[in-house]
Amino acid sequence: MSATGSSLNNQRPGPPLWLLAELTYRCPLQCPYCSNPLDFAETRDELDTESWFRVLREAREMGAAQLGFSGGEPLVRPDLPELIAEARRLGYYTNLITSGIGLTEEKVAQFREAGLDHIQVSFQASDPELNDAVAGSKKAFRNKLAMARAVHEAGYPMVLNFVIHRHNIHQMDDIIRLCEELGADFVELATCQYYGWAFENREGLMPSADQLATAEAAVNAHRERLAAAGSAMKLIFVTPDYYEERPKACMNGWGSLFLTVAPDGTALPCHSARILPIEFPNVREQSVSSIWYDSPGFNHYRGDAWMPEPCRSCDEKDKDFGGCRCQAYLLTGDADNADPVCGKSPHHDRVLAARRAADHATVPLAELTYRNARNSRVFARA
Amino acid sequence: MNARVPRLRPGFRFQWEPAQQAHVLLYPEGMVKLNTSAGAILETVDGQRSVDEIIAALEARFPDAGPLATDICDFLEDARERHWIILE
């Protein structure tokens, strides 16, 4: 069996239930853990409104029900209200994933009118100084606070997202209190995943084991307090998989539920996958259905015939699918390998080395490589 | 007697998904596929009907199913604990 397309054990995959529409890579912020590709500045040719309409329609016909408008900062697209309205008309549950920069009370109301179901506002920290230092913007925090309040007042469910790393992980108490004050329904405390810019900056971002244990204890104490008070606010704490001994079931399996369409129309099984040495299809050239079911890119890691040892004979391979292909590629140079997070991986020492480095790291925030067009062009040239 | 009126939590949406041949509950970045009975119950949750009225409606719709009050109340309590619905 070849590793491209015939490793499905004759099982046709289910439809993509989740569509992530990355409308643009443009963004006013410079977060050093951005998941966009390092060479994002090379992408200039964004899909137009009509092409997005077609993608939305085709994916919805196949069964996609959850839709995320993401980026970059999706608010920089002037056609966002039209895209929201069309998505809602098609029956999607529509999520806007935004930094809040560029949002106004008028837009919050306009999107509501267009049928937007949910706005997720991301924060970088619980205080303005740290928030704005991480974001690389001087007034980001103030703006985000105002917009979080506007989103809540407009009647949207409130999801606040904090990306957690070694420079803000001590703020759990303050972050959770801020979320309560803002009336959040869901709080995502998402520790950096080391892809894209976060991989470049890993040593300056990854918390130590001690930091992580302290933060987890704080979150658990707040969970108990909230539950005892009958609060509906839910805390979702995503810990870094570098501290696990078994890999995550990345994306619930390659090409199994998730479909990402990048700003230039490239279709991906996850937003990070374009780093892989695999040719991915483009919605400009193929229907979403033929991309999902028939393209070599999407079939590449379906099933398990592609797996080398130790995954091939592992009794957990149906549970975690060998972990994350991007992580295997970033840490070993070969995306077929077992995710080195796994204790059975012959490359697990690389994850252990990163943990040791996190115990002694001294890289200050100011020395991280910030995500901006200038730095991106340096990566593109290299 | 149960005159409380259940309604979906704001931001939650209930709909039929042809591709899954099931009712689903959609919420921020999440989706629950419902089994047939959960779907039939949530279909009646419209923010108007009381629990008693829901029981009567479903017993009329499924006359061969016998008394449904316990199952319906258990499900609604479970849905309330999961914060899918508000029951007041």
- Distance CA(B33)–CA(A55), nearest Å, equals 24
Under 8 Å between Cβ of A325 and A307: no
CA angle A313, A316, A321 (to 5 degrees): 90
Residue of B12, B17, B21, B27 for testing the chain A interface, max A β-carbons within 10 Å: B27
Q: Quick check: helix, strand or coil at residue A189?
A: strand
Distance from CA of A211 to the nearest CA of B (A): 28
For residues B76-85, give the mean pLDDT: 94
- Distance CA(A168)–CA(A123), nearest Å, equals 11
B11 → closest Cβ in A17, A68, A185:
A185
- Distance CA(B14)–CA(B85), nearest Å, equals 11
Those residues with Cβ within 8 angstroms of residue B54's Cβ, 6 or more apart along the chain or in another chain: B6, B41, B44, B45, B72, B76
Residue in chain A nearest B13 by alpha carbon: A93
| Residue A379, number of CB atoms within 10 A of its CB | 16
- Distance CA(B27)–CA(B25), nearest Å, equals 7
- Distance CA(A366)–CA(A369), nearest Å, equals 8
Residue A17 phi, psi dihedral angles, 5° rounding: -90, -15
Q: What is the distance, to the nearest Å, from the Cα of residue A100 to the centroid of all Cα atoms in its chain?
A: 17
For residue A29, the 8-state DSSP code is -
Q: What is the pLDDT along chain A (382 residues), one digit of tens a residue?
A: 334 444 445 578 999 999 999 999 999 999 999 999 999 998 889 999 999 999 999 999 999 999 999 999 999 999 999 999 999 999 999 999 999 999 999 999 999 999 999 999 999 999 999 988 888 888 889 999 999 999 999 999 999 999 999 999 999 999 999 999 999 999 999 999 999 999 999 999 999 999 999 999 999 999 999 999 989 899 999 999 999 999 999 999 999 999 999 999 999 999 999 999 999 999 999 999 999 999 999 999 999 999 999 999 999 999 999 999 999 999 999 999 999 999 999 999 999 999 999 999 999 999 999 999 999 999 988 7
| Residue A382, number of CB atoms within 10 A of its CB | 7
How far, in Å, are A5, A280, A303, A310, A335 from residue A9 at the CA level? 10, 22, 6, 20, 21
pTM value > 0.80? yes
Residue in chain A nearest B31 by alpha carbon: A66
In chain B, what is the greatest distance between 2 CA atoms, to the nearest angstrom? 39
- The pLDDT, as a whole number, for residue A10 is 54
Partners of A65 on chain B (C-beta within 8 Å) are 17, 24, 26, 31
Distance from CA of B7 to the nearest CA of A (A): 15
User: Do A95 and B29 make contact, defined as CB atoms within 8 angstroms?
Assistant: yes
Q: Which residues pair with A268 in a beta bridge?
A: A260
In A56-115, the DSSP E strands lie at 66-70, 93-98
A37: left (phi > 0), else alpha (psi -120 to 50), else beta? beta
- Distance CA(B46)–CA(B6), nearest Å, equals 7
- Distance CA(A313)–CA(A309), nearest Å, equals 7
Partners of A118 on chain B (C-beta within 8 Å) are 11, 27-29
User: Do A95 and B28 make contact, defined as CB atoms within 8 angstroms?
Assistant: yes
Closest CA to A115 of A81, A79, A66: A81
Residue A27 phi, psi dihedral angles, 5° rounding: -160, 140
- Distance CA(A38)–CA(A222), nearest Å, equals 36
Residue B86 phi, psi dihedral angles, 5° rounding: -110, 135
B27 → closest Cβ in A15, A91, A157:
A157
B31 → closest Cβ in A17, A68, A120:
A17
Buried b (16+ CB within 10 A) or exposed e, B42-71: bbbbeeebebeebbebbeeeeeeeeebeee
How far, in Å, are A227, A269, A306, A369, B81 from residue A251 at the CA level? 29, 8, 17, 27, 28
- A87, with CB counted inside 10 A (0-12, 13-18, 19+), is buried
Share of residues in chain B with pLDDT > 90 (%): 92
Tokens of A362: 């001294």
User: Do A118 and B29 make contact, defined as CB atoms within 8 angstroms?
Assistant: yes
ipTM for the complex shown: 0.92
Tokens of A99: 């930094």
- Distance CA(A66)–CA(A91), nearest Å, equals 9
Residue of A12, A89, A93, A259 for testing the chain B interface, max B β-carbons within 10 Å: A93
Distance from CA of A60 to the nearest CA of B (A): 9
Residue given tokens 């989103």 in the structure block: A151
Partners of B28 on chain A (C-beta within 8 Å) are 95, 117-118, 120, 157, 159, 185-186
Residue of B12, B20, B26, B88 for testing the chain A interface, max A β-carbons within 10 Å: B26
What is the side-by-side strand order in the sheet with A258-261? A234-238, A186-191, A158-164, A118-123, A93-98, A66-70, A18-22, A258-261, A267-268
In chain A, what is the greatest distance between 2 CA atoms, to the nearest angstrom? 57
- The pLDDT, as a whole number, for residue A8 is 47
Q: Which residues pair with B25 in a beta bridge?
A: B14, B32
A63 → closest Cβ in B9, B17, B30:
B17
Under 8 Å between Cβ of A156 and A115: no
